[in-house]
Amino acid sequence: MRTNFLAGFSALMLTAVAAAGQQAGAPVDPRPANDPDQKSAFAGQTKAPERRSNVAFEVVQIAEGLENPWSIAFLPGGNMLVTERPGRLRVVGADGKLSEPVTGLPDIVAGGQGGLLDVVLDPDFATNNTIYWCFSQPKEGANNTAVARGRFVDGAAPRVEDVKTIYEQAPSLNSRLHFGCRLVFRRDGTLFIAQGDRSITEGRMQSQNMDSLIGKVVRINRDGSIPKDNPFVGKDGVRPEIWSIGHRNIQAAALHPATGELWEVEHGTRGGDELNIVERGKDYGWPTIAYGIEYRGGQITGGIQQKEGMEQPIYYWDPVIGPSGMAFYTGDLFPAWKGNLFVGGHATNDLVRLELKDDRVVGEERLLTDRKERLRDVRQGPDGAIHILTDATNGRLLKMVPKAGSQ
């Protein structure tokens, strides 16, 4: 259990809550848990009270015609990079115009949950024009999560040059599921790669294996080399890339704006979507401990939710939201939301807003419920607007802005 308290950030949260005039109430989701006999590890770990912020906003469409878009990255000057899961990278202009697919990407196997996934800019993009992307990599009779980097060249025919694959998950498996994958740069310039367990039994059980990269968060340098201060460097039988273990299928990750810690959200089965603070060398339990039940019904592994030496999620959903992207809100467009965490509800077709106190969730709100669209990524843009990708064959790039006349 985490016991540290982030006093400054907590005060900001309490100020925002007070400004919104919220009171504790019933949980936002009235549905019963899939296993009503399971007990959470601490009060407030699930079903936080609904807190409606009553913030007036409107949703503006930036672009449409994207095929199952997956991730957004903001380029200097107002353009954006958007990945499409079938294997295309597009430049989206501020006017919504879509470029031709960016050329120069390595081979990608698209199908199931695999394809072209996350994309991020190098911390020094302004001087090196380097981007990084996560994708499902084809192998003979198998596939795996991989990360490549390249120099982005914009223009009428955008492309990437000097492409190098800097990370390959091992072992490769024959699965179309649970690739992850989110990329997050640490403040020291190293790169976190948040992955999945590949879903099939062979992969699931490797989440606890230290000689496997499946079901792990790994940390590498920007050139693909391994940081010397990773927690397991030099240990026999342990992959030195590993930062943390015991993850199921990470779909969202971001640095906490005050602490710089990595927060992630991962899919559960029927119940057990988790919000975790990922610390070096820690074990997050999958599949030994988990909330919820198997998709087909019945207990997960041994049917236990707590075990010494394994971390608890700071929050979980049962029933699930089917998490997608996430973003801490730090902008000025929505003062009442400052410090809140936004998570896409891919299964519930909504945007989940979480109010935080220290490292605990104290309130939850569901937004965009009337739109009934599957959300894939959530990012704060440079202008402070909340940008959202909808997951559809005619996917859209949207942004939330203050409603006209509301400020």
Q: How many CB atoms lie within 10 A of CB 307?
A: 13
Q: What's the rounded Cα separation, in Å, for the pair 343 and 230? A: 28
Whether the Cβ atoms of residue 389 and residue 375 lie closer than 8 Å to each other = yes
Considering only CA atoms, which of 343, 373, 271, 356 is closest in space to residue 32? 271
Q: How far apart are CA 207 and CA 365, in angstroms?
A: 32
Q: List the one residue out of 309, 359, 305, 352 whose CA is nearest residue 327.
A: 352
Angle at 182 between CA 262 and CA 63, to 5 degrees: 120
Question: Using CA atoms, how far apart are residues 160 and 130, in angstroms rounded to an integer?
Answer: 9
Indicate which residue of 178, 247, 267, 387 is catalytic. Answer: 178
Which residues contact residue 308 at a Cβ distance below 8 angstroms, ignoring those fewer than 6 apart? none
Residue-wise DSSP of 91-150: EE-TT-PBPPPPB-PPP---BTTBSEEEEEE-TTHHHH-EEEEEEEEEETTEEEEEEEEE
The amino acid at residue 76 is P
Q: Is 346 a catalytic residue?
A: no
- On whether the CB atoms of residues 284 and 2 are closer than 8 A, the answer is no
Q: Which helix (H) or strand (E) is 69 found in, with range?
A: strand 69-74
| Cα–Cα distance for residue pair 205/49, rounded to 1 Å | 35
How far apart are the two ends of the chain, measured CA to CA in Å? 41
**SS3 of residue 371 by DSSP:** helix
Q: Which residues are catalytic?
A: 178
